C-alpha cells in the first residue's frame, strides 16, 4: 500500500477546497492525525520516510509537540536513533526539555506531521 492509499484507507485524504496557512488554495488536504490513529499505517509511513532520511545518518530525530511526536518516535525507531520532541515556548519559538541532552556535532533530522507549500 503506498502513501496515498494509506491516507485514503484511513479517511485522512480530504478532497474539496482548502485555504492553506500559506494563503494558497488546494483541492486536497492530508489529515495526518487521522492516519496516525492506525499504528500499522503510522509505522509504514514512518519506515518509508526513514528510508529517505537514512543517508543523513542522524543521531536523533526531533518532532514538534504534539503532532510530530508520534512520527518522530517511529522514524527514530526505524533509523535506530534517539527520539526527542520540541515544545512551544509561548513566544513563537520552541525548546527541548531540560535533561534531554544534545551534544555538539550530533546530527539530527526534524520531522513534522503538517507541511504546506
* pLDDT band for position 107 (cuts 50, 70, 90): very high
CATH code, domain carrying 26: 3.40.50.2020
Residue 67: the pLDDT is: 84
User: What is the helix (H) or strand (E) element at residue 47, kind and residue range?
Assistant: helix 39-53
Reference 35, options 61, 68, 13, 64; nearest CA is: 13
Confidence of residue 113 (pLDDT cuts 50, 70, 90): confident
Give all strands of the β-sheet with 82-88 in edge-to-edge order.
94-95, 82-88, 60-64, 108-110
Spatial distance between the Cα atoms of 47 and 77, rounded to a whole number of angstroms: 9
Q: Is residue 24 domain-resident?
A: yes
Q: What is the average pLDDT across 26-32? A: 91
Per residue in 80-96, pLDDT (tens digit) is: 999 999 999 989 899 99
Check residue 23 and report its DSSP letter: S
Please say if the pLDDT value at position 114 is more than 90: no
The number of domains in the chain is 1
Residue 115 lies in a domain: no
Q: Which domain holds residue 76?
A: 3-110
C-alpha span between 116 and 23 (Å, rounded):
10
Amino acid at each position: 500500500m503506498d502513501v496515498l492509499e494509506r491516507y485514503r484507507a484511513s479517511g485522512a485524504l480530504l478532497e474539496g477546497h482548502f485555504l492553506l496557512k500559506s494563503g494558497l488554495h488546494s483541492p486536497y488536504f492530508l489529515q495526518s492525525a487521522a492516519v496516525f490513529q492506525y499504528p500499522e499505517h503510522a509505522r509504514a509511513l514512518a519506515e518509508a520516510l526513514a528510508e529517505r532520511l537514512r543517508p543523513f545518518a542522524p543521531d536523533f530525530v526531533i518532532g514538534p509537540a504534539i503532532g510530530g511526536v508520534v512520527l518522530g518516535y517511529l522514524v527514530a525507531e526505524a533509523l535506530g536513533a534517539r527520539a526527542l520532541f520540541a515544545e512551544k515556548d509561548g513566544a513563537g519559538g520552541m525548546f527541548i526539555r531540560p535533561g534531554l541532552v544534545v551534544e555538539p556535532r550530533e546530527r539530527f533530522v526534524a520531522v513534522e506531521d503538517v507541511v504546506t507549500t
